[in-house]
Amino acid sequence: MHLGWFTNYLTPSWNREFSGRAADTWLSGDFHVNLARRLEEARFDYLLLEDSSYVSNAYGSSFDLELQAMARAPKNDPMPLAAAIARETSRLGVVVTGNTTFYPPFLMARLIRTLDHLSRGRTGWNVVTGAPNQALANFGLKNPDLRDGESAHDLRYDMADEFVDLVVQLWESWEADAVVADRAEDRYIDASKVHTVDFEGKWYSSRGPLNSPPSPQYRPVICQAGGSTRGRAFASKWADTIVALPKGVDQMRDYVREVRQGLEDAGRDPASCKVLFIVTPTVGETDADAIALRERQFARRSERARQRLALMSGGDVDYSATPLDEPLPAIPTQGQSISAEFLRRHAGKRFEDALVDDQTESVELVGSPVTVAEQMVDTLEQTGGDGYLFYSGSGQLTMRYVDEVVDGVVPLLQRWGQARSEYTSTTLAGHLAEP
């Protein structure tokens, strides 16, 4: 099975029993470099660095909830962090989020390719399109004009299709063997192998060529995160790995089936894109310990609800008028599938209970390391997925939790032949190409 870890360049757990010195070490990148080293020791495929670039005041027109919960801020830019991690590791893949709404395609192509050089072929680009008004305002942008019957959400994916097409063409504007470094002839580049792209799209255009030469992967890995029908169509065209959050075994199985079908329809090998599900296992020395720990975590209901509420309030919906202790009404959404989905899943529950229940995990894994590892194996067998992306909620990550997973659960998976014990490749594409 393929293993990833999902985090962001955001404050980890900083003021709890096992926070350690995270409050003092995260800004310099040391905390995340340490995390990456641990994942590499455990032979993970990749570390995925999330991103967003705004501080939301959607909730009650105030920054209070956002900043108290530290759901999206303080956060730094993950691109330089990816470079730092790349220099401190040698095998781990580093997937960095780049939003198609906020970058010009040329800069994105150059940035990702440069990272692929710095990491010697271990870079992935997590292509996201999300653009709440809260974020657009920081860039002087407005939601794009809508065509008849189309949501801004789908339109952004149409634009992303064109964006990625252009980025890939820019990567390919240098033939793979354009750098000849011929000392005898004193010629570094074979200019006949570098071409313009002359891209004229509906939304983007670029002459090219890129000014960055071919990198070890030539075409760095493309990752997609998201679950909508349009998002899946985008992924079947472009993605080498998908990180997904379908809820429960049935949804997970359907999701994998649809992704594989989409790949086939796009003329691709259905095994060429690795689907990883998000999980946050609760691990104890015994099953009883783990169950008790999970109960203690969930006993902090208002804290968990506040955290979830802050995350949900990143969109443009103001939930402040919705009382936490009353059953959920139909909250209007603005084409944001996560909110519509939330309502469908939790209709009739008290809002606070819905928030607490709505954890970021595809399947609940609770138990001793053996129990959790067995649950992981069983769930993949039942769903046909390719692996897992571990995640610990925003502001809750501790190195102790990382150790529980990488020292507790992963060695069992390795002993059972379910996860790799050694890398067989030096590139991220190579890790993902393993069965």
Ligand X SMILES: Cc1cc2nc3c(=O)[nH]c(=O)nc-3n(C[C@H](O)[C@H](O)[C@H](O)COP(=O)(O)O)c2cc1C
Give residues in contact with ligand X (CB under 6 A): 6, 50-52, 97, 99, 128, 130, 153, 225-228, 231, 243, 245, 278, 337-338
Burial of 177 (0-12, 13-18, 19+ CB in 10 A): exposed
* CB of 161 vs ligand X, minimal distance in Å: 13
Residues 400 and 18: their CA atoms lie apart, in Å, by 7
Q: Which is nearer to ligand X, 130 or 216 (CB)?
A: 130
DSSP-derived 3-state class of residue 332: coil
* CB of 333 vs ligand X, minimal distance in Å: 12
What ranges make up the beta strands (E) of 262-402? 274-279, 282-283, 366-367, 387-391
Q: Which is nearer to ligand X, 40 or 50 (CB)?
A: 50
Residues 413 and 388: their CA atoms lie apart, in Å, by 12
Bin 221: left if φ > 0, else alpha if -120 < ψ < 50, else beta: beta
Burial 229-254 (b: 16+ CB within 10 A, else e): ebbbbbbbbbbbbbbbbbbeeebbbe
Q: Which is nearer to ligand X, 134 or 371 (CB)?
A: 134
Q: Which is nearer to ligand X, 11 or 97 (CB)?
A: 97
- With CB atoms as reference, the residue minimizing the distance to ligand X is 231
Q: For tokens 């029908």, name the residue.
A: 229
Q: Which is nearer to ligand X, 336 or 375 (CB)?
A: 336
Q: Which is nearer to ligand X, 228 or 414 (CB)?
A: 228
Question: Are the CB atoms for 218 and 119 separated by under 8 Å?
Answer: no
Which of 279, 163, 302 has its CA nearest to residue 222?
Answer: 163
